[in-house]
Structure 1
Amino acid sequence: MTHAFSQTAFSPAPQASQLPTMPTGWPIGSYATYAEAQRAVDHLAGKNFPVQDVTIVGVDPLLVERVAARLTWGKVLGSGALSGAWFGLFVGLLLSLFTPGAGLPAILIGLISGVGFGMAFAAASYAATRGRRGFVSHSQLVAGRYDVLCQPRNAESGRNLLAQLAMSRQSW
């Protein structure tokens, strides 16, 4: 006897809106920055354009990592102590609220424990890198340009409105 199993018998089928999809539409504008593309869509919205037909697409994506500072043992331990202190304070407050008669000692124990554990975990994590990552950085995904696409039914009017916006900016 054979059994036919469907995907829905074990897990729900993914919704179409949750799956990554390629953007559709015709290009009605192209901009060097996201802020410019956003301004263009704001302009369309201000003209009562059906902006639900519009998509901003970042083209030529780049991962940019900006180095913020050199990482030292002092910074690592200080950061670990600070984040551990917040967590310890939170746990201590919860203990003092839900344990009769705990009061201030529970808060102080939570705070001191949090600092200790935060420093220990930060030190272990930093030591595990063995100096391969001696800096702090922030990563950002940016694009080489940002295209504004529109569904074909409104693309021509959208392109005209954005052309008016471009001409009004040139007259400044």
Structure 2
Amino acid sequence: MSVQPTPAGASGGLPTGELLGRYRSYEDAQKVVDHLASADGFDIKSLSIVGNDLRSVEHIRTRLSYPRVALGGAAQGAIFGGFIAMIFYLFTPETPLLELVSIILLGAAVWMIAGTIGYAVRRGRRDFASVSQLTATTYDVVCDFSVAGRARQLVKESGTVSLNAHNDPTGRSGNLGGERPAPTQQPRGEGGSSDHASPDSSSAEQARQRAAQWQTEDGRPRYGVRRDDVKGAEEWPKRQDSPEASDT
């Protein structure tokens, strides 16, 4: 099943359109979009912000210990117990306050014991607390082709500098702004004509490849290969490079 690209601003799939710029942070891309949105008559629904090279980042917050784990478990259990106590109070307002407090304390105790036991089981394998997030290396601002001309003019007035081939961490900024890569040209010789391989050199190269297939790395023939075939494959490039072969 293939995923079809969608126009910029449409929901679902990657947008298609002109790349207005690539920025290192989401705040820079947001600043460009805000500048375009403030322009009169500009259709902001044609804009999209695309994150490149998503990375999972885990920020280490603190070192864990038994007191810290127990205190954190008790706090979570108290919150859960308070939620249960609130439900009891909503359905039975005549419930005594002492019972509601006991529910909160019971939740704190259960969660504290469960957290302490879990920490003791995994002791030495994960003695830290962390927070994970998904972030992108760079952010692209893409607009629909129908408004690309005006969008380029407005982006220049935003004051936000886009990345280029020298400072782009993704290494793929050579095609920014919708530019097409220039076609590669074949190297030319001294006479100005392209260096195309002649039939003789092509045949010699094929013979060398066949000889490499028939021989092992130390020069011995492979199993099931005749020595005459290997010898003929080795002599063929020499005959092609000899002066007699070039005269013919």
CA change 1:166–1:104 in 2 (3 A) is same
The runs of 5 or more residues in structure 1 that have no matched partner are 1-18
Q: Which residue of 1 aligns with 2:17?
A: 25
Q: Is residue 2:143 matched to residue 1:161?
A: no
Describe the SS at the equivalent of 2:133: strand
CA distance in 1, matches of 2:133, 2:93: 47
CA change 1:98–1:152 in 2 (3 A) is same
Q: Is residue 2:73 matched to residue 1:66?
A: no
Shift of 1:164: 1.6
Query: How many residues in Structure 1 have an aligned counterpart in Structure 2?
Result: 150
After superposition, residues 67-146 of structure 1 pair within 5 angstroms as 67-99=60-92, 101-146=94-139
Shift of 1:23: 2.5
Give a deviation string over 1:51-108, Cα, whole Å, max 9, x none.
Answer: 1111101112221211111111211111110011011122123223433642212211
Shift of 1:20: 5.2
CA change 1:167–1:34 in 2 (3 A) is closer
| TM-score, scaled to structure 2 | 0.55
Greater strand fraction, Structure 1 or Structure 2: 1
Q: Which residue of 1 aligns with 2:32?
A: 40
Give a deviation string over 1:9-41, Cα, whole Å, max 9, x none.
Answer: xxxxxxxxxx95123221012111100000100
**In the alignment, is the contact (CA less than 8 A) between 1:96 and 1:106 conserved in 2?**
no
Describe the SS at the equivalent of 1:60: strand
CA distance in 2, matches of 1:121, 1:50: 55
Greater helix fraction, Structure 1 or Structure 2: 1
Higher relative contact order (Cα pairs below 8 Å, separated by 6+ residues): 1
**In the alignment, is the contact (CA less than 8 A) between 2:63 and 2:129 conserved in 1?**
yes
**In the alignment, is the contact (CA less than 8 A) between 1:29 and 1:159 conserved in 2?**
no
| TM-score, scaled to structure 1 | 0.78
CA change 1:23–1:47 in 2 (3 A) is same
Describe the SS at the equivalent of 2:159: helix
* Structure 1 residue ranges (4+ consecutive) displaced by more than 3 angstroms after TM superposition: none
The runs of 5 or more residues in structure 2 that have no matched partner are 1-10, 162-248
Identical aligned residues as a percent: 37
**In the alignment, is the contact (CA less than 8 A) between 2:61 and 2:130 conserved in 1?**
yes
Larger Rg over CA atoms? 2
